[in-house]
Each structure stands twice: as structure tokens, then as C-alpha cells.
Structure 1
């Protein structure tokens, strides 16, 4: 007898999951900047030098009259 063929049968499909892990590096930059401020405090010190001189003047005065026969020397009043 010839070979006989029955209708085909299909079993339920099995699902498989294959996971691939791919490492990706993403550089993330966090820039920062520091500004150094040097504050110079300028203090002005004002000076007003002042000199003062004093002069003493003397004006000798002689009163009176010499007795007869006597005279006063001028250097006595200096």
C-alpha cells in the first residue's frame, strides 16, 4: 500500500527571550568655576603738619633822669 499522509499538526509555539546586555558609557560633565575676588581696602590717612613759631620782643624803657654826674649805660637795657 502506498504511504498515507494525515494532515499536519502544529504544537503551540514556545517563546524564548534572549537578553543582550550592552554597556554604554555616557560622560556627564558638571562644570564649576571659582572666581577669586581680592578686595583691597584703601585707608587714606591725612596729615596736616603745622608749625607755629613764637617771637618774644622786648622793648626796654628807662624812665628817670640820672643824677647829676651819673649816666646809665645803654647795654644795661638789652
Structure 2
């Protein structure tokens, strides 16, 4: 089969058994343009995540109070002297043959 015969295929007998139809090769016609068609708009959502750092300061202050506790310890030194003394008394009693003299008690 040649190139033309490829397009000219008989699809049966013509009506009334007449002569077979003749087929011509197809012709390329110029491209035709119809009015454009627009489908409904599709909406898309694109999310951008942007990280932002915000420094937050929480200031604090500590005051140190040093409390000095002063304890007074009072001392009252006091001296006492004790003197043991004795003084003999003459009761007017003397054993027989014995006498007291003043020189003996000095």
C-alpha cells in the first residue's frame, strides 16, 4: 500500500453496488482559533513562616542588708577579801599554875 492508499480505505460497497468511491488524501487546513475559554480561578494559599525573636528583659535587683547584732556582755569584777582572824579572850579562867601574857598574842 502506498501513502495515499493508506487514507483511502473502502468501508464497504457504495449504495447500489456502483463503482467504488474514490478517496482523496486529507488536507491540512489552516489552524482555526475559537474564542478563548477561561475556567474558574483556583485559589491557593501559600503560608510563609517568619521566625522573629523579641528579647524580653525581666530586670531584678537585690539589696543586701547586713545587720550587725551587738551583744554587750557586762562584767562587774568585784573582789572580796576574807580575813580570818581570831582574838583570844581571856575569860578569866586559867588553869592552876598558868597565866596569859600580852606578848604572846602579837
Give the TM-score band, short-chain normalised. Answer: 0.3 to 0.5
Find the partner of 1:45 among 73, 78, 81: 73
RMSD: 5.4
CA distance in 1, matches of 2:31, 2:80: 147
1:76 CA displacement: 3.6
Q: Which consecutive residues of structure 1, in runs of 5 or more, have no partner in the other structure?
A: none
Aligned positions of 1:1-78 closer than 5 A: 9-54=37-82, 75-78=103-106
**Cα pair distance change 1:52/1:20, threshold 3 Å:** same
Supply the distance in 1 between the matched residues of 2:67 and 2:41 (Cα, whole angstroms).
Answer: 79
Unaligned 5+ residue runs, structure 2? 1-28
Partners of 2:95 and 2:38 in 1: CA distance: 173
> For residues 3 and 72 of structure 1, what CA distance do their matches in structure 2 show?
176
After TM superposition, the structure 1 stretch with the greater mean CA deviation from structure 2, 48-57 or 13-22, is 48-57
Structure number, greater radius of gyration: 2
- TM-score, structure 2 as length reference: 0.39
TM-aligned CA deviation for residue 30 of structure 1 = 2.6
Q: What's the CA shift string for 1:28-60, capped at 9, x where partnerless?
A: 223333343433332211111112335678888
Deviation at 1:21, TM superposition (A): 2.0
Aligned residues: 78
CA positional deviation for 1:15: 1.1
